[in-house]
Amino acid sequence: MKAFWTATALAVCLAGCSTVPNEANTLPAVSGQTSEEARIADLLSRMSIERKVAQLVQPQINSFTAEDMRRYRFGSYLNGGNGGPYGDEFAEASEWLKLADEMYLASVEPLEGNEPVIPMMWGTDAVHGHTNVIRATIFPHNIGLGATRDADLVRRIGEATATEIAVTGIDWNFSPTVAVARDDRWGRTYESYSEDPAIVAPLGAALIEGLQGRQGDPDRLRGQHVIATAKHFFGDGGTDQGVDQGEVTGDIESLKAIHAAPYPAAIDAGVEAVMASFNSINGRKMHGNEALLTGVLRDELGFDGLVVGDWNGHGQVAGCTNTDCPQSLLAGLDIYMVPDEWRGLLETTVAQVRDGTIPMARLDEAVGRVLRVKMRAGLLDEFVRPSQRPVAGRYDLLGSAEHRAIAREAVAKSQVLLKNNGVLPLKAGATVLVAGSAADDIAQAAGGWTLTWQGGGDLDNEYFPGATSIWQGLKAATEESGGTAMLAPDGDYTTRPDVAIVVFGEEPYAEFAGDRKNVAFSDEEGLALLRRFEAEDIPTVAVFLSGRPMWVNRELNAADAFVAAWLPGSEGAGIADVLTGTEPSTGRLSFSWPRGCDAGPVNGPEKALFPVGYGLSLTQRSSLPMLDESCDALLAASGSDWFVNGRFEQGITAVAGGVALPDLRGAGGGVTARGIDRNAQEDSREITFTPGSALTISQTEEGEGAYRIVYRVRQRPQQTVTLTTGSATLSLTQPLSVAAEKDWREMVITEECASGLGNELTIASEGAFTLDIATIERDNLPEGTACSF
Give the 3-state secondary structure of residue 359.
coil
Report the nearest approach of ligand BGC to the CB of residue 646 (Å).
Answer: 8
Q: How far is CA 112 from CA 49, 115, 389, 488, 547, in A?
A: 14, 6, 28, 67, 52
In angstroms, rounded to a whole number, what is the distance separating the alpha carbons of residues 560 and 422? 8
Active-site residue, from 272, 440, 511, 663: 511
Strand partners, 724: 729, 762
Report the nearest approach of ligand BGC to the CB of residue 24 (Å).
Answer: 33
Active-site residue, from 171, 244, 310, 571: 310
Residue in 83, 176, 315, 473 binding ligand BGC, rule: CB under 6 A: 83
Nearer to ligand BGC, 231 or 404 (CB): 231
Residue in 47, 51, 53, 80 binding ligand BGC, rule: CB under 6 A: 80
In angstroms, rounded to a whole number, what is the distance separating the alpha carbons of residues 535 and 40? 72
β-strands 172-173, 229-233 pairing = unpaired
Nearer to ligand BGC, 677 or 760 (CB): 677
89 in contact with ligand BGC (CB under 6 A): no
Single out the segment in contact with ligand BGC by CB under 6 A; choices: 74-82, 210-218, 291-299, 357-365: 74-82
Residue in 58, 82, 168, 672 binding ligand BGC, rule: CB under 6 A: 82
Report the nearest approach of ligand BGC to the CB of residue 473 (Å).
Answer: 30
Query: Phi, psi (5° rounding) for residue 183?
Result: -145, 110
List binders of ligand BGC among 688-727 (CB under 6 A): none
Strand partners, 310: none
Say if CB 145 and CB 414 are below 8 A apart: yes
Burial annotation 623-661 (CB, 10 A radius, 16+ → b, else e): eeeeeeeebebbeeeeeebbbebbbbbeebbbbbeeeeb
Peptide bond into 28 cis (omega under 30): yes
In angstroms, rounded to a whole number, what is the distance separating the alpha carbons of residues 528 and 530? 6
Single out the segment in contact with ligand BGC by CB under 6 A; choices: 79-87, 103-111, 163-171, 374-382: 79-87
Nearer to ligand BGC, 452 or 469 (CB): 452
Residue in 59, 75, 81, 213 binding ligand BGC, rule: CB under 6 A: 81
Nearer to ligand BGC, 51 or 285 (CB): 285
Report the nearest approach of ligand BGC to the CB of residue 675 (Å).
Answer: 6
Report the nearest approach of ligand BGC to the CB of residue 126 (Å).
Answer: 10
Q: Where are the alpha helices (DSSP H) in 387-506?
A: 401-414, 442-446, 470-480
In angstroms, rounded to a whole number, what is the distance separating the alpha carbons of residues 105 and 110? 10
Cβ burial of 522 (10 Å; 0-12, 13-18, 19+) is middle
Report the nearest approach of ligand BGC to the CB of residue 745 (Å).
Answer: 23
Could you tell me the sign of the dihedral formed by the alpha carbons of 314, 318, 321, 323, in that order? Answer: negative
Note the Cα 651 to chain centre separation in Å. 24
Report the nearest approach of ligand BGC to the CB of residue 680 (Å).
Answer: 8
The binding track of 418-457 with respect to ligand BGC, each residue x by CB under 6 A or -, is -----------------------------------x----
Query: Phi, psi (5° rounding) for residue 355?
Result: -90, 5
Report the nearest approach of ligand BGC to the CB of residue 269 (Å).
Answer: 19
Q: Which of 369, 376, 477, 375 is nearest to 432 (CA)?
A: 477
Say if CB 769 and CB 703 are below 8 A apart: no
Can 511 be counted among the known catalytic residues? yes
Nearer to ligand BGC, 174 or 533 (CB): 174
List binders of ligand BGC among 280-319 (CB under 6 A): 310-311
Q: Which of 39, 128, 118, 117 is nearest to 76 (CA)?
A: 118
Nearer to ligand BGC, 126 or 575 (CB): 126
In angstroms, rounded to a whole number, what is the distance separating the alpha carbons of residues 689 and 157? 45
Strand partners, 77: 122
Q: How far is CA 567 from CA 142, 507, 776, in A?
A: 9, 10, 30
| Residue with nearest beta carbon to ligand BGC | 80
Single out the segment in contact with ligand BGC by CB under 6 A; choices: 75-83, 211-219, 394-402, 406-414: 75-83
Peptide bond into 176 cis (omega under 30): yes
Mapping DSSP onto H, E and C, the string for 702-770 reads: CCCCEEEEEEEECCCCCCCEEEEECCEEEECHHHHHHHECCCCEEEEECCCCCCCCCCEEEEEECCCEE
Report the nearest approach of ligand BGC to the CB of residue 78 (Å).
Answer: 6
Residue in 5, 74, 122, 174 binding ligand BGC, rule: CB under 6 A: 174
324 in contact with ligand BGC (CB under 6 A): no
Report the nearest approach of ligand BGC to the CB of residue 266 (Å).
Answer: 15
125 in contact with ligand BGC (CB under 6 A): yes
Q: Which of 560, 425, 534, 436 is nearest to 491 (CA)?
A: 436
Single out the segment in contact with ligand BGC by CB under 6 A; choices: 76-84, 543-551, 686-694, 735-743: 76-84
Nearer to ligand BGC, 230 or 367 (CB): 230
Size of the site for ligand BGC (CB under 6 A): 15
Nearer to ligand BGC, 174 or 769 (CB): 174
Single out the segment in contact with ligand BGC by CB under 6 A; choices: 80-88, 474-482, 515-523, 710-718: 80-88
Residue in 159, 324, 440, 511 binding ligand BGC, rule: CB under 6 A: 511
Rounded (to 5) percent helix, strand, coil in the chain: 35, 20, 45
Contacts of 722 (CB under 8 A, 6+ apart): 729, 730, 731, 732, 733, 762, 763, 764, 765
Report the nearest approach of ligand BGC to the CB of residue 453 (Å).
Answer: 4
Nearer to ligand BGC, 81 or 288 (CB): 81
In angstroms, rounded to a whole number, what is the distance separating the alpha carbons of residues 346 and 362? 16
Nearer to ligand BGC, 176 or 386 (CB): 176
Nearer to ligand BGC, 514 or 675 (CB): 675
Single out the segment in contact with ligand BGC by CB under 6 A; choices: 78-86, 417-425, 480-488, 621-629: 78-86
Nearer to ligand BGC, 681 or 733 (CB): 681
Can 310 be counted among the known catalytic residues? yes
5 in contact with ligand BGC (CB under 6 A): no
Single out the segment in contact with ligand BGC by CB under 6 A; choices: 21-29, 64-72, 81-89, 193-201: 81-89
675 in contact with ligand BGC (CB under 6 A): yes
Contacts of 68 (CB under 8 A, 6+ apart): 74
Strand partners, 696: 655, 762
Single out the segment in contact with ligand BGC by CB under 6 A; choices: 77-85, 210-218, 406-414, 757-765: 77-85
Report the nearest approach of ligand BGC to the CB of residue 310 (Å).
Answer: 5
Give the 3-state secondary structure of residue 77.
strand
Report the nearest approach of ligand BGC to the CB of residue 674 (Å).
Answer: 9
Single out the segment in contact with ligand BGC by CB under 6 A; choices: 27-35, 262-270, 501-509, 675-683: 675-683
682 in contact with ligand BGC (CB under 6 A): yes
Nearer to ligand BGC, 131 or 586 (CB): 131
List binders of ligand BGC among 230-249 (CB under 6 A): 231
193 in contact with ligand BGC (CB under 6 A): no
Question: Active-site residues: which are they?
Answer: 310, 511
Q: Which residues contribute to the site for ligand BGC (CB under 6 A)?
A: 78, 80-83, 125, 174, 231, 310-311, 453, 511, 675, 681-682
